[in-house]
Structure 1
Amino acid sequence: MFSYIKRFLIGRPLKSTELGEQKLTKVKALAILSSDALSSVAYGPEQILLVLMTIGAIAYWYSIPIAIGVLILLAALILSYRQIIFAYPHGGGAYVVSKENLGVLPGLIAGGSLLVDYILTVAVSVSAGTDAITSAFPSLHPYNVIIAVAFVVLITTLNLRGVTESASVFALPVYLFILALFILIGVGAYNILTGHVSPSLHTSIGTPVAGISLFLLLRAFASGCTALTGVEAISNAIPNFKEPSPRNAAKTLMAMGTILALLFSGIVILAYYYGVGHREEVTVLSQIAEQTFGRNFMYFFIQGTTALILILAANTGYSAFPLLAVNLAKDKFVPRMFTVRGDRLGYSNGIIFLGLFSIILIIVFKGQTEMLIPLYAIGVFIPFTLSQTGMMVKWIKEKPEGWVHKLLINTTGALISLLVSVMFFITKFSSVWPVLVFLPIIIYFFHRIHKHYEAIAEQLRVSNSVPAIPIEGNVIIVPVAGITHVVENSLNYAKSLSPHQIIAVHIPFEREDEAIFEQKWGNWQPGIRLVTLYSPYRSIVQPLLKFVDIVQNKANESNYQVTVIIPQFIPKKGWHNILHNQSSLLIRAHLLYRKNVIVATVPYHLSK
């Protein structure tokens, strides 16, 4: 049943030789790797206005110069990540750049931040998309969390089906969103130029504003920079591109940067001219669309495509998180299970892990986007700062042709990213303080995992291992619950290994049962020694473990190996297992932690 459901949801397994068919074209890559960055125009401008509204609507004109500052940072980041793509064509982005140029610790800080950020990408994107739906249909507000969780489950399932299949599904909504926003910006600009928008809706640029301060403007700038989240995803996912991967990734990055700049600028300008500000339960984009078209088809088309891309922006996390986890796993900082490809050639463990933790975040934060965005943004700008700094170090060390120009780009990006990070800590400390807690914890676990893998490698290395002690013989212990075909099957197997060193162990709970069983055993298997261990407290495991320890101590003196053979019957139907006590599993679980004891299970398959 489980296998049938899995095939229905995920599809048939793919051969390893079909991996090339799972690579992305530039058109599909733009859809799934840029959706996070492009979707942020739905809430990035709103975050600027959210800060400025503390002064009043008169301060909204500052959104224009603030947007220009955001675009300057975007240009620096796009140019910098383009350089990273060609310098590190195997992917890894900020983690690899920071580790190789700044050291292991900065690399782990960048990697840990990005892992958490991709989880937040899913949570924030889906929560924001749900907000867009409930803005159009207010009666759905009470079901925000349920709707968001359902979308995460759907996107996780689609990604388990493979990269190209999920890209095919997600491409159309992304391009519809781009089309919808260009139509909105075009019609809005036409209305402004033809005088259909009243000048009284906005204050003139340069109007003096009482109470404005540099600190508040920097805070608004930092908030607006949330529109840049997701820019780094393409540099992490280079291996997903068709060959030539670096060139295709670089072209996709430039296309994404251009579209993002145009959409962000257009929304900020329309919001300024329309005098739109932050309102509870109605997004800025929804207000602009309503003022431009009214509540007609185009309004719902814009809201619908916005909701779709905000939800599908989560797919950026599903594309980049598994690949980043692979790089960390190859360096032994996260479990190796993240390097395993699933039936559909995707890194299934990373996809499932991402989906589960995103659902937890949505439930904990109750789907409130405003609570998640600051934490989300700081998780992006820490790696931004480290990657830019790492590239600065690389150019200074290597001094390739044109390195001064490249250094200038990265220096600009590093300084602005650092400024944004500092502003987030200063102005939104109550929201971003968890970073100071979970990031050290994550790095601690990275080191513990790395230490574990190094210790295992040292112990398993043949050149450094202690020579194995030769085995002179084998003592076999067979726990027996009764006189059955299951036990007979196990005894026959034991005889094939060591016919003269077999000890059957029976553990009765009553004294009278002990004598009866010994008599029956003598008649049934007179050639095999039986040891009965009376257990007045009705424990099977403890008496058996003590006996195994006694036998092992004596066997070690003669270089004998102790093997415990556990009889186990296998029901014909899987659900029959719940009808049995599974004591064999319990015994095996305890014995596996006994040194120098071999544990073997001899199955007996039932036919009815």
Structure 2
Amino acid sequence: MLTSLKRFLIGRPLKSNEAGEHKLNKLKALAILSSDALSSVAYGTEQILLVLVTFGTVAFWYSLPIAIGVLVLLLALILSYRQIIFSYPHGGGAYVVSKENLGVNYGLVAGGSLLVDYILTVAVSVSAGTDAITSAFPALHTHNVAIAVVLVILITILNLRGLTESASILAYPVYLFVVALIIMIGVGLYHIATGGVPASAHTPVGTPVAGLTLFLLLRAFASGCSALTGVEAISNAIPNFKEPQPNNAAKTLIMMGSLLAVLFTGVTFLAYWYGIAPKVEETVVSQIAAETFGRNYMYYFIQGTTALILVLAANTGYSAFPLLAYNLAADKFMPRMYTMRGDRLGYSNGIITLGIGSIILIVAFRGQTENLIPLYAVGVFIPFTLSQTGMILKWLREKPKGWILKLTANLIGALITLTVLIIFFVTKFTQVWSVLIFLPLIILLFHRIHRHYKDVGDQLRLESEHPPLAIEGNVIIVPVAGMTRVVENSLNYARTLSDQVIAVYVAFDRQEERRFEEKWEQWQPDIRLVTLHSQYRSIIQPLTKFIDTAQHKAKESNYWVTVLIPQFITKKNWHNILHNQSSLLIRAYLLYKRNVVVTTVPYRFKK
């Protein structure tokens, strides 16, 4: 039944040689890998206004120069990541750049930051999408968390079906959102140009604001930089592109940057001109749409597409997280399971991990995106800064043709991203301080995993300093619970392996012990029986004590001890709950004992 459900939800398995057919062209890649960056238009302007509103609507004109600063940073990031795409065409983005140019620990900081950030991407995007839905339908506001969790589960299932299939479905909402916002911006600008929006609705540019400090402006700028999250995703996911991969990835990056610049500028300008102020119960984009069209079908079309892209922006995380986890796992800093492809050729373990992590965050923060966005932005600007710095060192070391221009672009980008990062820590320390705790813990975990794999490799290597001991023979111990077909089947198998077979029976009272010994003598006289008395009705403790003794004696003559456990297999799975499963407990306990081989002999029931 579970297999049938899996096939229904995920689809038939794909052959390994079909991987080339499941690569992304530029249009599909733009939809999948840019949805996070494009969706941030829906809340980037709002984050600026939330800081400026402290001084009232008179300060809103500052959103325009702040937006220009964000666009300058966007240009620097696009130029930088375009260079990264061509320099590191196998993907990995900030992790690979930092590791190769700055050192392993810097690479792990970048990789760890991005892993957490992609989980935050899903949580923030889905929570913001849920907010957009409940802005249009206020009656659903109390069910925010439940709606967000259901949406994460649906997106996870969709991504488990494969990259191209999810891209084919998700491309339509992303492009509908782009079209919807371009129409809204165009109609809004037309209303402004024709005098449909009075100039009195906003404060003129240059109006002095009493008490406004550089500190507050920098804080607003840092908040607006949340619109740049997701810019790095394309450089992480280069292997997902069709050939030529670097060229297609670079063109997609430029397309994304251009669209993001147009939409962010348009929304910010309309918000300023209309005099929009942020509200708890309604988003800025919702207010702009209402002012531009009224609450008609176009308003609901914009809200619907905004909600969709905010939810589907999570797909950027689903595209980039598994590939980043793959790169870390390939370098032995994460479990090997993240290098395994699933039935649909995607890295399923990474997809599932991302889904579970984001659900935990949504529930923990109760779907409140404003609590997540500062942490989310810091998680992006750490790898932004490290990757830019890494590229600076690369150009200084290699000095290729035109390296001075490349160095200049990366230097400007590094200075701006570092400034934004410092601003975040200074102005929003109470919201981002946890980064200073969980990031070192993640780096420590990476190193522990890497050390484990190194130790395993040393012990598995054929030239190891400690070769395995020669095995002269085998002593087989068979725990028995009675005289049954299951036990008989196991004893017959044990005879084929060794002539030293010992049956062990644990009795709870003396009379039972004597009766069992008498019956055994008649039933299996050629197999030695050892009975152990257990005063406290424990089977595992006396059995393992006997095995320890046998193992100690066998070791003296280079013999190994094999514990052969009889186990019956019921015809139907639910029958298992009717039995005590003591064989499973014995096996689980013995697996961790040194120099003891544990094996199971199944006896399958027919009814």
Residue identity matched to 2:325: A
Matched residue of 1:504: which SS?
strand
Alignment of 1:330-345 (within 5 A): 330-345=330-345
Q: State the partner residue of 1:174.
A: 174
Q: State the partner residue of 1:305.
A: 305
Residue 207 of structure 1, CA deviation: 1.2
Residue 77 of structure 1, CA deviation: 0.2
TM-score under structure 1 normalisation?
A: 0.99
Q: State the partner residue of 2:578.
A: 579
For 2:338 and 2:368, how far apart are their aligned partners in 1? 30
Residue identity matched to 1:540: I
Would you say 1:84 and 2:119 are equivalent positions? no
Deviations 1:137-162 (A, max 9, x none): 11111000000000000000000111
Q: State the partner residue of 2:71.
A: 71
Residue identity matched to 2:29: A
For 2:249 and 2:7, how far apart are their aligned partners in 1? 32
- Give the unaligned 5+ runs of structure 1: none
Q: State the partner residue of 1:473.
A: 473
Alignment of 1:239-250 (within 5 A): 239-250=239-250
Taking only the aligned residue pairs, the percentage that are identical comes to: 73
Matched residue of 2:533: which SS?
coil
For 2:301 and 2:169, how far apart are their aligned partners in 1? 18
Q: State the partner residue of 1:187.
A: 187
Alignment of 1:36-435 (within 5 A): 36-435=36-435
Residue 204 of structure 1, CA deviation: 1.1
Q: State the partner residue of 1:523.
A: 522
Residue 108 of structure 1, CA deviation: 0.6
Residue identity matched to 2:84: I
Deviations 1:517-565 (A, max 9, x none): 1111111100000000011111110111000011111111111111110
Matched residue of 1:466: which SS?
coil
For 1:328 and 1:196, how far apart are their aligned partners in 2? 55
Matched residue of 1:415: which SS?
helix
Deviations 1:323-377 (A, max 9, x none): 0000000111111110011111110000000000100000000000100000000
Matched residue of 2:463: which SS?
helix
Q: State the partner residue of 1:545.
A: 544
Equivalent residue pairs, number: 607
Deviations 1:288-331 (A, max 9, x none): 00000000000000000000000000000000000000000011
For 2:504 and 2:531, how far apart are their aligned partners in 1? 6
Residue identity matched to 2:428: K
Residue identity matched to 2:27: V
For 1:470 and 1:310, how far apart are their aligned partners in 2? 63
Matched residue of 2:290: which SS?
helix
Residue identity matched to 1:517: F
Deviations 1:407-466 (A, max 9, x none): 111011111101111111111111101101100110110111111111111111111242
Residue identity matched to 1:587: I
Residue 212 of structure 1, CA deviation: 1.4
Alignment of 1:552-563 (within 5 A): 552-563=551-562
Residue 468 of structure 1, CA deviation: 2.5
Q: State the partner residue of 1:33.
A: 33
Residue identity matched to 2:502: I
Residue identity matched to 2:519: K
Residue 7 of structure 1, CA deviation: 0.7
Residue identity matched to 1:598: V
- Give the unaligned 5+ runs of structure 2: none
For 2:72 and 2:580, how far apart are their aligned partners in 1? 67
Residue 590 of structure 1, CA deviation: 1.1
Deviations 1:490-531 (A, max 9, x none): 011100011x20000000112111111111111110000000
CA RMSD, Structure 1 to Structure 2 (Å): 0.6
For 1:350 and 1:481, how far apart are their aligned partners in 2? 43
Would you say 1:505 and 2:504 are equivalent positions? yes
Deviations 1:257-299 (A, max 9, x none): 0000000000001011100011111100000000000000000
Residue identity matched to 2:146: I
Residue identity matched to 1:366: R
Residue 210 of structure 1, CA deviation: 1.0
Matched residue of 1:217: which SS?
helix
For 1:332 and 1:82, how far apart are their aligned partners in 2? 28
Residue identity matched to 1:434: S
Residue 224 of structure 1, CA deviation: 0.2
Q: State the partner residue of 1:461.
A: 461
For 1:136 and 1:202, how far apart are their aligned partners in 2? 25
TM-score under structure 2 normalisation?
A: 0.99
For 1:518 and 1:71, how far apart are their aligned partners in 2? 87
For 1:523 and 1:281, how far apart are their aligned partners in 2? 83
Residue 467 of structure 1, CA deviation: 2.7
For 1:101 and 1:579, how far apart are their aligned partners in 2? 60
Matched residue of 2:367: which SS?
coil
